[in-house]
Amino acid sequence: MKTITAEAVHNSLPQEKIRQGSLFGALTDDCINFILKEGRILELSPGEKVFDCGDSGNAFYVVLEGSLSFVKLHDGQLYSTRDINFGEEVGFVAMIALHNHVGYAVANCDSRVLEITSDLFATIHENYPFDFGIITLNLARDMARNIRKLSNALVEHAIKH
């Protein structure tokens, strides 16, 4: 895993494409540029972990290129629960709930992810309040979609309460 610059991302990923990611939809150019500049952009090879089970949940990660899988640890067993693709995030639930990660995120292929720490998230709130509202709405929408997928999986596998 290595850290790269926002300029390196813009060379392969133009602003119009970035805006198509679910987290970045409807954000101002200034805010997107600020997030890319102030966030940490990681380049991952297949099999590299973004975070591990038990690591602090003080950040979330947005896929800029490639894809990740989230593997959850439950009762000593590992379960792959979802893939995270362009513009989607992983780790927000741990960050907002103030708990450590209950699994790990691993690159499925060559990937680039943007780390948004809780400190950066707070700075976005302070400096870009309108955009922060949009980011929060986008994150909530993605969580709602994941809840729907999980709910459907429970029904499809006849898991009853």
**Chain segment 90-120, per-residue pLDDT in tens:** 999 999 999 999 999 999 999 999 999 999 9
Query: Helix H segments across 2-117?
Result: 6-12, 15-19, 29-38, 92-97
**Residue 78 resides in a domain:** yes
**Residue 83 resides in a domain:** yes
Higher pLDDT, 10 or 142: 142
Number of compact structural domains in the chain: 1
Residue 13 is part of a domain; what is its CATH number? 2.60.120.10
pLDDT at residue 149 in the model: 87
**Residue 114 resides in a domain:** yes
DSSP state, residue 76: T
Q: Express each pLDDT in 66-92 by its tens digit.
A: 999 999 988 999 999 899 999 999 999
Give Cβ neighbours of residue 76 (< 8 Å, ≥ 6 apart): none
**Residue 146 resides in a domain:** yes
Q: Express each pLDDT in 2-55 by its tens digit.
A: 998 888 887 788 888 898 998 998 999 999 999 999 999 999 999 999 999 999
Residue 161 has pLDDT above 70, yes or no: no
Contact 89, 60 (CB under 8 A): yes
The sheet carrying 103-107 orders its strands as 49-51, 103-107, 68-74, 77-84
Residue 130 has pLDDT above 80, yes or no: yes
Domain extent at residue 101: 2-156
pLDDT at residue 8 in the model: 82
Average pLDDT over residues 122-150: 94
Confidence band of 160 (pLDDT split at 50, 70, 90): low
Q: Strand pairing partners for 14?
A: none
Give Cβ neighbours of residue 29 (< 8 Å, ≥ 6 apart): 15
**Residue 161 resides in a domain:** no
**Residue 34 resides in a domain:** yes
Confidence band of 156 (pLDDT split at 50, 70, 90): confident
Q: Model-level pTM?
A: 0.92
